[in-house]
Amino acid sequence: MLDDLRPRVLSEIGNVVVGREEEASLLLTCLLARGHVLLEGVPGVSKTLLARAFSNCLGLKFSRIQFTPDMLPLDILGGFVFNMKTREFDFKEGPVFTNILLADEINRTAPKVQSALLEAMQEVQVTVEGHTSALPHPFMVIATQNPAEFEGVYPLPENEKDRFTMRIPFGYPSHAVEFEILKRNLADMDLSLVRPILRSGELEEAFKIVDAVKVSDDILHYIPRIAEKTRSDNRISLGASPRALVQLLQVSRANAALDGREFVTPDDVKKLAKVSLSHRIRLDRSAALKGLVQGTDAFVDQVLDVVKPPR
């Protein structure tokens, strides 16, 4: 059972990151679901710090790429370099060959570079000049973006957004949390305070437990009903994709396992539907301008209110 894993991870991350328990919990859920996360928030709200602390805590290999407009796909994936000794071209692995890849400010780079991550995220492998290499397991992309920026950014295309299992919004912390941040920063705080907490093989065992979580047919009918509702509403121009449903199911299983259950309940689905679906849904412009819908988060809430779960 995994019911003690979440408290252990949150406690360890809490040594450095203050007031981000919910976000850290979602990161763990997403990792166990073999998914990828888009962290969305203004600069300075501890997105990067949380990603690093999360990686340290699980003892995983971590790479960070700062996305810039002049990047090339090779800067991420790696490329062939001529070896003077063997007189052959050897493949030199790029920063994508890691367990946790922090793609910082992903919307600052051109779509060609953003797309370079598609194969890695979907198939956990990369192909360069016909040479395919598998990525390490587990592999998770944690991308960050600032939603308030409009200049010098390239908004993620729909197919790229659809690869992200979750979008986690990072708001400003509360007064109490900011007080604690200031208090802690007076002393020397560094990431070495977050130590690996997993025993050897524990993460692999956790993946197996998640894979063994049962899903009843009623739940398998419930999730598509939610998706159908997002597609049939005339205030929406793009609804949830089948890939979104598969990922919602997988994160629901991971959540059930982390709660110590061997089966998924409608509460798991409802808890994760907003972070799993809202970034993939596109509002109809005229409906949004007329104020008929207040945003994709509010829309998903409305859908969950009207779709009857199995009881």
Partner 1 sequence: MVTEVVYFLIAANAAVYVVLAIGLSRRLNKFPRDATLEEAFKILEEELKKRYPDLPEGYTWNEVLTKLKRSATKTKRSDWVNIENTLKQYEAFRYGGVDYKEVDPRTVVRLAQQLPRGEKVVR
Interface stretch with partner 1, choices 96-104, 157-165, 176-184, 302-310 (CB under 8 A): 302-310
- CB-based contacts of 40, cutoff 8 Å, min separation 6: 144, 145, 146, 147, 167, 168, 169, 170, 279
Looking at residue 88, what DSSP letter applies?
E
- 36 is written with which tokens? 């990828």
- CB-based contacts of 223, cutoff 8 Å, min separation 6: 245, 248, 249, 269
Are 44 and 171 spatial neighbours (Cβ–Cβ below 8 Å)? no
**CA angle 266–271–272, rounded 5-degree value:** 105
Q: How many residues bind partner 1 (CB under 8 A)?
A: 20
Cβ atoms < 10 Å from Cβ of 2: 20
Q: How far is the CB of 271 from partner 1 (least distance, A)?
A: 10
Looking at residue 19, what DSSP letter applies?
S
E strands along the chain, which residues? 37-41, 62-66, 78-83, 88-93, 100-104, 125-128, 131-134, 140-145, 166-170, 236-238, 282-283
Q: How far is the CB of 233 from partner 1 (least distance, A)?
A: 15
Q: How far is the CB of 219 from partner 1 (least distance, A)?
A: 6
Using the minimum distance from each CB to partner 1, give the nearer residue, 204 or 262: 262
- 138 is written with which tokens? 């587990």
The answer to whether 137 contacts partner 1 (rule: CB under 8 A) is: no
Q: How far is the CB of 231 from partner 1 (least distance, A)?
A: 17
Using the minimum distance from each CB to partner 1, give the nearer residue, 237 or 302: 302
The answer to whether 308 contacts partner 1 (rule: CB under 8 A) is: yes
Q: How far is the CB of 232 from partner 1 (least distance, A)?
A: 16
Stretch 270-289 residues interacting with partner 1 (CB under 8 A): 270
> Of the candidates 70, 188, 190, 305, which one interacts with partner 1 according to CB under 8 A?
305
Distance (Å, whole) CA 140 – CA 120: 9
Using the minimum distance from each CB to partner 1, give the nearer residue, 49 or 307: 307
Using the minimum distance from each CB to partner 1, give the nearer residue, 111 or 260: 260
Using the minimum distance from each CB to partner 1, give the nearer residue, 63 or 265: 265
What are the helix and strand counts (H, E) for the chain? 13, 11
Using the minimum distance from each CB to partner 1, give the nearer residue, 52 or 271: 271
Q: How far is the CB of 2 from partner 1 (least distance, A)?
A: 16
Q: How far is the CB of 309 from partner 1 (least distance, A)?
A: 5
Using the minimum distance from each CB to partner 1, give the nearer residue, 119 or 267: 267
Are 16 and 6 spatial neighbours (Cβ–Cβ below 8 Å)? no
- CB-based contacts of 73, cutoff 8 Å, min separation 6: 112, 113, 115, 116
Give phi and psi for 64, each to the nearest 5: -125, 135
The answer to whether 294 contacts partner 1 (rule: CB under 8 A) is: no
Using the minimum distance from each CB to partner 1, give the nearer residue, 241 or 252: 252
Q: How far is the CB of 33 from partner 1 (least distance, A)?
A: 18
The answer to whether 49 contacts partner 1 (rule: CB under 8 A) is: no
Q: How far is the CB of 253 from partner 1 (least distance, A)?
A: 12
Stretch 212-271 residues interacting with partner 1 (CB under 8 A): 214, 216, 218-219, 261-267, 270
The answer to whether 307 contacts partner 1 (rule: CB under 8 A) is: yes
Alpha-carbon torsion 293, 299, 302, 303, what sign?
Answer: positive
The binding site for partner 1 (CB under 8 A) comprises 214, 216, 218-219, 261-267, 270, 304-311
